[in-house]
Amino acid sequence: RKEVEQDPGPFNVPEGATVAFNCTYSNSASQSFFWYRQDCRKEPKLLMSVYSSGNEDGRFTAQLNRASQYISLLIRDSKLSDSATYLCVVKRGGNTGKLIFGQGTTLQVKP
């Protein structure tokens, strides 16, 4: 079983739509959780950290359910510029802990 699993998509949505991505992780020792964004052939960039209490950054809302080992990302009012691959990432092992990436979910926002 993969340590971090995501639906690869692609998700094709019109501008203005709301879209949700889900992710599950298998290792209960995972300590920190993130959503990264990756544009084609570019480096991953941190979109937001994910907390159990849920957190919001503008049009983006992330949620963590530790009991179910489930992470979500909601994007409201999608823009063309949101088109990218969204990577679910978990971290274990304290301060030097490696990042474990999911396969990524591809989003294509169309006019």
In the beta sheet, which residues pair with residue 64? Answer: 71
The candidate with the shortest Cα–Cα distance to 71, out of 32, 16, 17, is 32
> Applying CB under 8 A, does 103 fall inside the site for another protein?
yes
Residue number, 13 or 99, with CB nearest to another protein: 99
Cα-based angle 10, 11, 14 (whole degrees, multiple of 5)? 140
Contact (CB, 8 A) for 46 and 33: no
Restricting to residues 24-63, which ones interact with another protein according to CB under 8 A? 32, 34, 38, 41-46, 49
Site size toward another protein, by CB under 8 A:
23
In the block, tokens 């937001």 appear at 48
Residue number, 60 or 76, with CB nearest to another protein: 60
Residue number, 76 or 92, with CB nearest to another protein: 92
Q: Which residues bind another protein (CB under 8 A)?
A: 32, 34, 38, 41-46, 49, 87, 91, 93, 95-104
